[in-house]
Amino acid sequence: MVVALPFRSLTAAAPRVLPAAALLLALSLAAGCNGSGEGGAGEGGESGNSAAAAARNKPGERNPAIGSNGRPGTKVEVLTLAPQDFTIHTTYIGHLLPIERVTLRSEMEGRVERTDFDTGDAVAKGRVLVNISTRQLTLRRDLARSNHKLAEASYRRNVQLIEKELIPAAQLDVSRNERDVAKLNLELAELELRKSQVRSPIAGTVKSKSVRVGEYVSKGQELAEILDLSRLLAVIHVPEKEMRHVAPGKPASVTLDALPDNRFAGRVKTVGVEADLRNRSFEVEVELANIRGELRPGMLARVEIETGAYRQQLLIPRQAVLEREDRRIVFVAEDGRAVERTVETGVSRDGDVQVLSGLEPGQRLIVTGQHQVTPNSRIQVVPGADGSEAEPEP
Q: For the chain, list the strands marked E by DSSP.
A: 74-80, 84-105, 110-115, 122-123, 128-132, 197-199, 204-209, 216-217, 222-239, 251-256, 259-271, 281-289, 300-317, 322-323, 328-334, 337-349, 352-357, 364-368, 379-381
Looking at residue 316, what is its pLDDT? 95
Residue after which a domain boundary falls, among 264, 283, 309: 309
Q: What average pLDDT does the chain have?
A: 83
Cα–Cα distance measured from residue 82 to residue 352, given in angstroms and rounded to the nearest whole number = 14
Q: Whole-angstrom Cα distance, residue 101 to residue 232?
A: 11
Confidence of residue 55 (pLDDT cuts 50, 70, 90): very low
pLDDT one-digit tens code per residue, 164-209: 888 888 888 899 999 999 999 999 999 999 999 999 999 999 999 9
Query: Greatest CA span in the chain, whole angstroms?
Result: 203
Confidence of residue 161 (pLDDT cuts 50, 70, 90): confident
User: Does residue 2 lie in a domain region?
Assistant: no
Mean pLDDT of 94-99: 96
Residue 45 reports pLDDT greater than 50: no
pLDDT score at 384: 64
Assess whether 162 and 257 both reside in one domain.
no
Render pLDDT for 313-369 as a digit per residue (tens, 0 to 9). 999 999 999 999 899 999 999 999 999 999 999 988 888 999 999 999 999 999 999
Are 150 and 256 in a shared domain? no
Neighbours of 204 (CB within 10 A): 23
pLDDT band at 71 (very low <50, low <70, confident <90, very high): low
- CA-based nearest residue to 233, from 274, 286, 277, 284: 286
How far apart, in whole angstroms, are the C-alpha atoms of residue 112 and residue 212? 7
| Residue 64 binned pLDDT confidence (cut-offs 50, 70, 90) | low
- How confident is the model over 285-312, as a mean pLDDT? 94
358-374 burial: b if 16+ Cβ within 10 Å, else e: bbeeebbbbbbbbeebe
Number of domains in the chain: 3
Is the model's pLDDT at 80 over the cut of 70?
A: yes
The answer to whether 107 and 192 are in contact (CB under 8 A) is: no
pLDDT at position 120 is: 93
Q: Place 50 in a pLDDT band, splitting at 50, 70 and 90.
A: very low
Residues 295 and 330 in one domain: no
**Residues forming a β-bridge with 205:** 122, 227
- How high is the pLDDT of residue 350? 84
- Give the end of a domain, one of 262, 288, 309: 309
Judgement on whether residues 152 and 206 belong to the same structural domain of the protein: yes
d(CA 344, CA 347): 11
What is the pLDDT averaged over residues 28-49? 41
User: What confidence category does residue 381 fall into, taking pLDDT thresholds of 50, 70 and 90?
Assistant: very high
Assigned domain for 114 exists: yes
Q: How many CA atoms lie within 13 A of 127 on its CB side?
A: 15
Q: Is residue 123 part of a domain?
A: yes
pTM listed for this prediction: 0.64
pLDDT at 201: 95
Angle at which helices 134-163 and 169-196 pack, to 10 degrees?
160
Distance CA 16, CA 376 (A): 77
- The CA angle 364-368-371, to the nearest 5 degrees, is 110
What pLDDT sits at residue 99?
A: 95
| Measured CA distances, 79 to 312, 327, 330, 344 (Å) | 17, 22, 12, 18
More confident residue, 148 or 59: 148
Sort strands 328-334 and 337-349 into parallel, antiparallel or unpaired.
Answer: antiparallel
Helical ranges in the chain per DSSP H: 7-56, 134-163, 169-196
CATH of the domain at 354: 2.40.420.20
Same domain, 376 and 301: no
253 and 351 share one domain: no
Mean pLDDT for the stretch of residues 108-132: 94
Taking only Cα atoms into account, the Rg of the chain, rounded to an integer number of angstroms, comes to 50
The answer to whether residue 133 is domain-embedded is: yes
How far is CA 335 from each of CA 182, 202, 360, rounded to the nearest angstrom? 106, 74, 16
Candidates 371, 364, 354; CA nearest to 385 is: 364
Pair 355, 272 in one domain = no
pLDDT-derived band at 43 (thresholds 50, 70, 90) equals very low
Phi then psi for residue 33, to 5 deg, are -65, -40
Judged against a pLDDT cut of 80, whether residue 9 lies above it is answered with no
- Tell me, yes or no, whether 128 and 213 share the same domain: yes
DSSP 8-state symbol, 117? -
Q: Which domain holds residue 241?
A: 92-96+229-309
Q: What percent of the chain has pLDDT over 90?
A: 69
CATH number of the structural domain spanning residue 239: 2.40.30.170
CA of 220: how far to CAs of 78, 104, 107, 149, 191, in Å? 73, 9, 6, 34, 17
Say yes or no to pLDDT of 61 above 50. no
pLDDT per residue over 202-256, tens digit each?
Answer: 999 999 999 999 999 999 999 999 999 999 999 999 999 999 999 999 999 999 9
Cα–Cα distance for residue pair 92/334, rounded to 1 Å: 42
Residues 213 and 233 in one domain: no
Q: Is residue 276 part of a domain?
A: yes
| End position of a domain, from candidates 162, 192, 222 | 222
Entry field: residues in the chain: 394
Domain assignment present for 118: yes
Determine the pLDDT at residue 386.
Answer: 52
Residue 150: pLDDT above 90? yes
